[in-house]
Amino acid sequence: MSVLIDSSGWIEYFSNGKKANKFAPYIQKANKKNFITPTIILFEVYKKIKRETNESKANEAIAYIIDSTKIIGLDERIALHASETSIHTGLAMADAIIQATANLHKAQTITSDHHFKSLPNTKII
């Protein structure tokens, strides 16, 4: 099974947050064969880290994610699956895209976002 580290994990790790050490084992073993990242996560991570620190740190985080995981773009299949996911779960657009990407790529989502807590193949940290 592939692994998808949610934005919350990347942000905790790169901003040295309270849960950084809990996400570290996943992030440090990330590889393009087994780890996927939807493009919406790049948006969320860059925006949050740049806003809270600076552009250089945001660029470092994004470079690490791109180098360490397989980036999955939003296509029509994911978009429609995300729409259905949002209708059935009440997830906001970004979270629905993340969940749909995980579902379609048979990935486990690693997150600290409690919006995902009742969803299958999700590990809350």
Q: Is 38 helix (H, G, I), strand (E, B) or coil?
A: strand
Q: What is the pLDDT of residues 2-21, one digit of tens each?
A: 999 999 999 999 999 999 99
At CB < 8 A and 24+ separation, what contacts does 57-60 make?
57/14, 60/14
What pTM did the predictor assign?
A: 0.95
Q: What is the CATH number of the domain that holds 28?
A: 3.40.50.1010
**Element holding 5 (H helix, E strand):** strand 2-5
Q: What is the mean pLDDT of each run of 10 residues along the chain (125 residues)?
A: 98 97 98 99 99 98 99 99 98 98 98 92 97
pLDDT of 40 reads: 99
Which residue range(s) make up the domain with 109? 2-124
pLDDT of 94 reads: 98
CA dihedral of 34, 106, 110, 73, whole degrees rounded to 10: 80
- The answer to whether the beta carbons of residues 89 and 119 sit under 8 Å apart is yes
Mean pLDDT of the chain, nearest integer: 98
Q: Looking at the 3D structure of the chain, how many domains does it have?
A: 1
CA 11, 15, 17, 19 torsion-angle sign: positive
